[in-house]
Amino acid sequence: MKKRYSDAAAALDGLLFDGMTIMSGGFGLCGIPENLIHALRDSGVKDLTVISNNAGVDDFGLGLLLQTRQIKKMISSYVGENKEFERQYLSGELELEFNPQGTLAERCRAGGAGVPGFYTKTGVGTLIAEGKEHKDFNGETYILETGLVADLSIVKAWRGDEQGNLVYRKTARNFNPVMASAGKVTVAEVEEIVPLGALDPDHIHTPGIYVQRLIQGGHEKRIERRTVRERESA
């Protein structure tokens, strides 16, 4: 099976349709599939439900799809760095399903593992729990959360081989492995494609069985919020 494609647009060809659900890996701007996001914007696909920890910033990452109004609903954990996200949500233009961060990660992991639902204590007694099934275990109350599966997962890795085996680098791993497993189709972009056998099997984070398409791309790697300290005088 040929998995390597020439660019992001080619890798997404034939996969996109209006109203689809997309998982997008990354945390802040770390480990985001920026080339695939650009290709989604250029495709014009609309009414998207996007599952991602956050929505990028106003002019980068998923923020680009908010600018073009291609996202109908976000399933997220944090949206604090994006003014356009805030504006669209408060004006009723964008649907939002908030999740505690660990719950979001577990919902993606569960979806990838074929687990339809799980119980967690996180959110009990808060707005998160409203309308959800409650159940007691050993005297403690838990709420039922459902697993998440997407029509398409887009992820970013450090290295990959021709069969789609992926290795992530440090904190850029974040949501990428669980989302790679939870897409009906997964497209990965990597910084380097290496020959088969070059990756140590013990170091592979996402086995190629989860990845259907693969591209190599250049990456800007922006810093979301740069914090510096004034130099101390001698």
Q: What is the DSSP string of 96-116?
A: EEE--HHHHHHHHHHHHHT--
User: Using the 8-state DSSP alphabet, how is residue 233 labeled?
Assistant: P
> How high is the pLDDT of residue 90?
92
Q: How many CB atoms lie within 10 A of CB 1?
A: 8
Q: Three-state DSSP class for 161?
A: strand
Q: How many CB atoms lie within 10 A of CB 144?
A: 14
Q: What is the pLDDT of residues 90-110, one digit of tens each?
A: 999 999 999 999 999 999 999
Set out the domains of the chain in order of their start, with CATH numbers. 8-118+148-216 (3.40.1080.10)
Contact between residue 61 and residue 55 where contact means Cβ atoms under 8 Å apart: yes
80 pLDDT above the threshold of 80: no
> How high is the pLDDT of residue 225?
74
Q: What is the mean pLDDT of residues 81-89?
A: 89
234 pLDDT above the threshold of 70: no
Q: What is the pLDDT of residues 131-171, one digit of tens each?
A: 999 999 999 999 999 999 999 999 999 999 999 999 999 99
182 pLDDT above the threshold of 70: yes
> How high is the pLDDT of residue 1?
76
Task: Find all residues with CB under 8 Å of 225, minimum gap 6, and list them.
Answer: 81
